[in-house]
Structure 1
């Protein structure tokens, strides 16, 4: 059975105003709340608030960069979070991109695969209550131990794109968080690890703009995709998926510093595949294509729309309508 989550913060709804909606999420069909972390809100503050407001919800990060917090701080933060909820805690970690790790935090970006692998190996031991003293390839830890072992061990997931990182997620961690891929891409991403899927989490994060105004939806999608698809890991991922030639003009614009031009150069059909839009019924039809073997959770990032800007009180109904 697939679990359903909502990504926080919700567009147009400040965290301080989200309490009532978060409390209602289980009645709307959602079991999880998730966050990401890049240049905006941090990952853990919204989840801490959600745990206090609705402790029945599972809490997930999709994802936290491994380069911007030490491994011990990550373990301490997640251990504390696990004390606040009766639901599961799913810690998604990933390499992120230099624009977040280095440009915003001043931390060198290097050895992304090794750093993620080392971090998940440490976290699985630390969150199980072990005393950890180990020399990893990218860091060393001496005598780490949580003060209190979580009653339910948080699951550690990997934000993954291409095969090597996907394999780290299923071999070294408890699963993966996938995003920015079409439903038709899922079999190719998961085919090399089919034998590893049972007992693991496969979380798919989808970007949804529930509006019949296609011009608004595509403009909003291009604003996001024109930046993210031209970050090195995502450009390499979509080149591997076969979209490199179609995205070449966008990449040249991005490399020249033209973010608007980079978004404008993305073909409509790629925007439509990666940025789901239409009325809620149409969005649901697209979302259900991702309910493929092995997928355990769907997380919806719901973008702002003209309709929600006019009537923000309709957001709970929109979320209910987006759940199949």
Structure 2
């Protein structure tokens, strides 16, 4: 089992101690450092900033939002960071949701799977640098022609030669079709609410992708980097209560009331009634009540909360289910050292 430090995205402002946490993670043997973005801070700038102070850890995004950049712009950013880091970059991509894509980026959301396939294909053409990049697909046509254009666009190859022609791409996927697509075209999967209890279900979806003609990977060399909230404590009740507002936000407040991909993940876990009640309370601005009604079992499904022996046993379960890396958050250097001592020793 490997560990990745998830720095996430900023709230109201920068996080002052991220430099210390990154240094501690590298010193403790973490495999990677990951950043994210929503509709505030971007993922690439802090990753490059803090990554410049490291020598060994992989530098990943979990996740970049597909609609924030054209595929060629994303490929440019990736090849640049890959050069600067000595070949340590991992591109993590996700489609986000219609509220963000259309409300923040001003881009159409429909056909997310087709857009993802096209996006990834263009990025790989850029890095391969075998020919000027063209794309006949409907979502990202290159060169762009037709009404409203000059007709002067021409296919181009990147001026800069990529350090690697095959930078790893991981996808943040939640639904069965998206997970199957991930196994087919990507190098790894970034599940946000993973539970070993449903490993057989995930594996069925992944195996569908692995079996498709031209699939890039097999289960033997495919990575599953699962976000894992790990809290080492003797007071499970208090720690679980602290996690529930976060779950309530994602379960009841992300996306629209009838289009929330995170909520669908919890429905597939078997918590449809909880999702409905949390959503109703959260959207009535009764957020504390929404968090309070979440059963402990919901937290237990996708987080690890308990004493050292309990945590070690759960990590074995996650590893046995196929997880190769656990992406964890930490609030202090001491917490990073403690996580390394426990997880990396299992």
Please report the TM-score for the alignment, with normalisation by the length of structure 1: 0.85
Cα 1:134/1:105, change in 2 over 3 Å: closer
Answer with 19-28 or 81-90: which moved more.
19-28
Query: Take 1:11 and 1:66, find their aligned partners in 2: how far apart are those partners?
Result: 19
Q: Deviations over 1:103-126 (max 9, x none)?
A: 444444332222222211222222
* 2:8–2:37 Cα contact (<8 Å) kept: no
Structure 1 stretch 100-109 or stretch 233-242: which is displaced more? 100-109
Instruction: Single out whichever of 193-202 and 225-234 deviates more from structure 2.
Output: 193-202
Deviation at 1:280, TM superposition (A): 4.7
Q: Which residue does the alignment assign to 1:285? A: 313
Q: 2:61 touches 2:90 (CA, 8 Å); kept in 1?
A: yes
- Tell me, yes or no, if the aligned pair for 1:57 and 1:86 is still in contact at 8 Å: no
| Greater Cα offset, 53-62 or 275-284 | 275-284
Q: Secondary structure at the match of 1:137?
A: coil
1:21–1:181 Cα change, 3 Å: closer
TM-score, scaled relative to structure 2: 0.80
Deviations 1:113-167, CA, capped at 9 Å, x for gaps:
2222221122222222243111223221222432223223311121111221011
In the other structure, the counterpart of 1:309 is none
* Structure 2 counterparts to residues 1-324 of structure 1, below 5 A: 2-8=1-7, 17-130=17-130, 131-142=132-143, 143-152=155-164, 153-194=166-207, 195=210, 196-230=218-252, 231=254, 232-292=260-320, 294-302=322-330, 304=331, 312=332, 314-324=334-344
Question: Displacement, 1:281?
Answer: 4.6
Alpha-carbon deviation of 1:6? 0.8
Q: Distance in 2 between matches of 1:264 and 1:17?
A: 30
Q: Give the greater-gyration-radius structure (CA).
A: 2
CA contact (8 A) 2:9 2:35 kept: no
The runs of 5 or more residues in structure 2 that have no matched partner are 144-154, 211-217, 255-259
Provide the residue aligned with 2:215 in structure 1: none
CA RMSD of aligned residues (A): 2.8
Runs of 4+ that moved beyond 6 A: 10-13
3-state SS of paired residue (1:276): strand
**How many angstroms does 1:180 deviate by?**
0.7
Q: Show structure 1 runs of 5+ residues with no match.
A: 305-311
1:60-112, CA deviations, whole angstroms, 9 ceiling, x for partnerless residues?
Answer: 11111111222121111111110122353211111112343344444443322
